[in-house]
Amino acid sequence: MPAVIRDVRRHDIAWHDAIHYIQEHGMRLLCIADHVDPLIYSTTLKERYGKVDLVLSAGDLTLEYYDFIISTLNRRLYFVFGNHHLEHRRQYGKVRDPFITEEKSVPWGNGAGAVCLEGRVVRVRGLIIAGLGGSIWYNGGENQFTDFAMFINMLRLLPGLLWHRIFHGRFLDVLITHSPPYGINDLPDPCHTGFKIFLWFMRTFKPRYLVHGHVHLYDRNAAREAKYGATTIINAYDHVLIDLESTS
């Protein structure tokens, strides 16, 4: 059975301005990461998950996989790159205007319906999401960063975060990363250690969710959810559903 995270909290001051769609109808997010899940890559995908509103990927998946999901569900898919499957990363490497929220997808072949979220803050149906890809530096490979380098990447989000804080009352709702925060859902080996700077980000900008991948969950009973301050951290390995339920 898929993991389902339900959020039925009353709207506080950060959400008071109306995530109107969510308040009236609820919102279901399909989050994926790291592994081609046979429950997703299936002819029954639309039957199972046809009612999701948005698909979010925490990386290490192919653009062909995204194509299948988008064409089957006819839903938007936002993603970050991880530390594998980086063949097309440079084609998505252009820094985009952080204030443009309805930007079209890249008009080429594989993954044409997917939108790279790295270094961007966008608002979709009232939900404010941002993305930071890559893993901790461990062998000098592509898309690996030290904590300081990730902080520099994080600065690209700042204009968009401030814009939404001024005009929508909150910095963001969901941060999509590939790696987990340090000490939360991570592992002690050099490759799977989390970013310490993500702890500062959660304390400062208080996203409701941080959705990550990178750490594979081979045990069905392994914990995939944790809490840090105001933020719920979720490992999206294989897939997980997040229900933002109606509170009206």
Is residue 220 within 8 A of residue 39, CB to CB? The reply is no
**Which residue ranges make up each domain of the chain?**
3-244
Q: What is the CATH number of domain 3-244?
A: 3.60.21.10
CA 56, CA 173: separation in Å to the nearest integer?
Answer: 13
Own/partner long-range contacts of 197-200 (Cβ < 8 Å, ≥24 apart)? 197/147, 197/148, 197/150, 197/151, 197/154, 198/150, 199/228
**Residue 185 confidence (pLDDT):** 95
Phi and psi (nearest 5°) for 241? -105, 135
Cα angle 67, 102, 96; round to 5 = 85
pTM for the model stands at 0.84
CA 134, CA 84: separation in Å to the nearest integer?
Answer: 9
Q: Which helix (H) or strand (E) holds 48?
A: helix 45-49
**Residue 25 confidence (pLDDT):** 58
Two tokens at 105?
């997808």
CB atoms within 10 A of CB 217: 20
**Cβ-count burial of 108 within 10 angstroms (0-12 exposed, 13-18 middle, 19+ buried)?**
exposed
**Residue 32 confidence (pLDDT):** 97
Is residue 245 within 8 A of residue 25, CB to CB? The reply is no
Instruction: Read off the amino acid at residue 146.
Output: T
In this prediction, the residues of the chain whose per-residue pLDDT falls under 70 are 1-25, 90-112, 245-248
**Residue 20 confidence (pLDDT):** 53
Q: Which residues pair with 7 in a beta bridge?
A: 244
Residues whose CB falls within 8 Å of the CB of residue 174, separated by 6 or more in sequence, listed in order: 29, 56, 127, 128, 129, 130, 207, 208, 209, 210, 211
**Residue 82 confidence (pLDDT):** 92
Two tokens at 87?
């063949």
Two tokens at 123?
């608002």
Largest Cα–Cα distance in the chain?
Answer: 50
**Residue 22 confidence (pLDDT):** 56
CA 56, CA 114: separation in Å to the nearest integer?
Answer: 10
